[in-house]
Chains A and B, each alone.
Chain A
Amino acid sequence: MEMQDLRLDGNAIGGLMLELVGADLTASTCVCGGCGAHEEMARLDVYTGAGIVVRCRHCEAVMIRIVQGRGRTWLDLSGTASLELGSAP
């Protein structure tokens, strides 16, 4: 399996984010805390390690980290300067 194929995009976590925040964020604008780039979540890079890591496509900074287990979820948005909620369905 090619390493590149392990990199997905924000579409892949659409269901997860819907579950976590109650909104479909795939078309929501996210601002990178590292370089300030604005992209819809669908245009961010998603990696699956021990947990999920969402990175800025421009500067590779970590924007979001998600760990889930035993019914708990840890959501780190510290690398995301701003996240738009409530996009049109």
Chain B
Amino acid sequence: MAGAAVLGRLTWLGAEVAAVVPETPRVRTLELYAPGWLGHRAGQHLDLRLTAEDGYQAQRSYSIASAPGDSLTLTVERLDDGEVSPYLVDEAREGDMVELRGPIGGYFVWDGNETEPVLLVAGGSGVVPLMAMARHRSRIGSTAPMRLLFSSRTLEDVIYREELERLAAEGDGFEVVHTLTREQPPGWTGYSRRIDPELLAEVAFPAHERPRVYVCGSTRFVDAAADGLIELGYEPAWIRTERFGATGS
């Protein structure tokens, strides 16, 4: 198993953009058709490479948004000074070709075999690998308690908002708590500030439940969330983190 699987992950695979789905003004999901893609675990990422007509290449890592077993999708946020994300969010269309390598990651993964509660903490587009975990949980019918604490700038920027509402409405132990840090709609009763130890104390599972934690977002976001959880008595070993540059990739 090892040899063929590793070689498969090492090579660049051609992939076609099968569909594009706008998520928010700055974020788009791309469904990719990649024959030869070996599948992935929830939380993993892939490397994506673009080649211009003159041979110039640029490469970035993107978390896989889809659950294992579903069509491969990525969700990408446009970085204003980005080189690859503006292309993926604004330009790429059905039929366009990209190259992929992966899946990558043996640390920031959740397979659903565990029964302990799972706390997911997302900053902006850091929600993407955590969404793969939530989707995977739903797909396999896991009843492990899973709670997503999701920090976004405004309601309009909340990626996957409707789908998260649906998952939470299933009543099978999945919950979402939002915080909107920049602007809140009239009548908003949710949190309206950046994550801090007080907010975490109200939202996180109590430490005695020994939860698994996955935190993803910018370095500053991840460090603040992880430090806050440790102040609540969480063990560093329970907390898995993945840092994106700036706000996304």
Contact = CB atoms under 8 A, between A and B. Distances in A.
Contact of B107 (A5, A15, A19, A42): A42
A24 B47 CA distance: 13
A6 B244 CA distance: 9
A80 to B, nearest CB: 17
Most chain-B CB neighbours within 10 Å: which of A2, A18, A27, A40? A18
Nearest to A88: B106
Interface residues of A, number: 28
A23 interface: yes
Contact of A11 (B108, B218, B223, B246): B108
B104 A24 contact: yes
A78 interface: no
Contacts of A43: 107, 241
A4 B108 contact: no
B9 A11 contact: no
Contacts of A10: 107
B219 A7 contact: yes
Interface string A23-53: 1101110000000000011110000000000
B161 to A, nearest CB: 25
A4 B219 contact: yes
A24 B242 contact: no
Contact of B106 (A5, A7, A27): A27
B106 A15 contact: no
B107 A27 contact: yes
B107 to A, nearest CB: 4
A14 interface: yes
Interface string B100-143: 01101111100000000000000000000000000000000000
Interface of A: 1-2, 4-12, 14-15, 18-19, 22-24, 26-28, 40-43, 87-89
5 contacts: A6-B219, A15-B104, A18-B10, A19-B101, A26-B105
